[in-house]
Amino acid sequence: MSTPVSLDPSVDHRILELVGAGDDGVCSTDLAAGPWTFDAVPGYGPGSSMGDVIPTGSPRQGELPAAYREADEAELEARILAARETLGDRVVVLGHFYQREEVVRHADYVGDSYQLAVAAKRHPEAEAIVFCGVHFMAETADLLSGPEQAVILPNLAAGCSMADMADIDQVEECWEQLAEVLGPLDAPDADGLLPVVPVTYMNSSAAIKGFVGRNGGIVCTSSNARTVLEWAFARGRRVLFFPDQHLGRNTAKEMGVGLDRMPMWNPHRPFGGSSAETLRDARVILWHGFCSVHRRFTTAQIDRARAEHPGVRVIVHPECPMEVVDAADEAGSTAYIREAIEAATEPATFAIGTEINLVRRLAAQHPQHEIFCLDPVVCPCSTMYRIHPGYLAWVLEELVAGRTVNRIEVPPAVADPARVALERMLAARP
């Protein structure tokens, strides 16, 4: 094993270095530009998959003032620190693990979607919660925070292609078609089990969470997916799992559900593309959705890591395709990955299959280990990357000036049932 060396955790710096050298080790050279360059253009941003088509009417970010676009890294950091000092306990900043280092360093809490949902709920005293993540996460924080608290998303264009793969109209139509096959979906059988229980991944809109809450279902994260499926199986004959097919398949397979009882529901085909017999025999009905970041990981990358690093420990996220999860040594949430590395007492080599910002940060935090991303191409989550220190400085200085910008608010008709589904999730501890 080669001698581990200290690493700069900044993916920004690495992208600029690669692009400046004309290296093709980055998935899009546009990542070197400020994200405001793309705010007026429909899409998920540089580095996103060509297959990720953003829905019409998705939120757009207005123009960021020039003072923030033109400021360098040091100036933006100073402005953020000064605003935070002035605001004190009036504001809480939450940062997702996949955020760039220049943003995460200013967060009061850094975590996955589950951990940040809990953190948002624990600070009723804060006037504002600045969520450095993506749109569905800010919606969730609004659902769990107090009515007087403002939840702010620094860049409204920070969405999620996976969340957009299941819109409320498609899910409602799916539910109606399932009722045609399975009968009334709110009528328990002789054993007290419902025909189907809906389960949505945290990576979904508030509207989808509201649908789940209205129909006896629950939200899950990658941290508690197995616990949530156990909860759902105790209440229903089948589970409708959306929007990420891979998390649903990998979790159910680990629980002993056969692949032949996990049909895919394609929302663009009648009855999802399955026969009535297949749907009746199903245990888990998987939605045709996925994470473009985790779909980049392959078994060939694992084979290469094992060939070049004998004894390497391969850990991947359960949003990866099944064959990748099967080929890895372990699969787990972002929190699981962090904890596995922290628990390693002897120097080791880790190949990680998840978003590059987290992997690079872990490598910098644990120089005694050799930690690298399975995918050799630097390609951060395109929508997380829309949050830049310039936007964070802007929303904080607006708060200092008494103005609240980019507030995320979920309408009461959606919020009430969505909270029911989220509270069920928070009670389902792994």
- Residues 246-288 have pLDDT tens digits of 999 999 999 999 999 999 999 999 999 999 999 999 999 999 9
Whole-model pTM above 0.85? yes
Q: How confident is the model at residue 2 (pLDDT cuts 50, 70, 90)?
A: very low
pLDDT value at 112 more than 90: no
Q: Which amino acid is at 430?
A: P
The per-residue pLDDT for 114 is 75
The identity of residue 229, as a single letter, is: L
User: Cα separation of 90 and 142, whole Å?
Assistant: 16
Higher pLDDT pick, 23 / 231? 231
**Burial class of residue 377 in the structure, from the number of CB atoms within 10 Å of its CB (0-12 exposed, 13-18 middle, 19+ buried):** middle
CA distance 354 to 318: 9
Q: Kind and range of the H or E element at 53?
A: none
Q: Convert the pLDDT of each residue in 207-222 to its tens digit.
A: 999 999 999 999 999 9
| pLDDT score at 98 | 95
- What is the per-residue pLDDT across 329-376, written as a single tens digit (0 to 9) for each? 999 999 899 999 999 999 999 999 999 999 999 999 999 999 999 999
Q: Which pLDDT tens digit goes with each residue over 140-174?
A: 999 999 999 999 999 999 999 999 999 999 999 99
Report pLDDT for 5.
53
CA distance 373 to 379: 10
pLDDT digits 0-9 by tens, 37-74: 998 888 999 988 767 888 888 899 999 999 999 999 99
**Residue 4 predicted with pLDDT over 50:** no
The residue type of 403 is: R
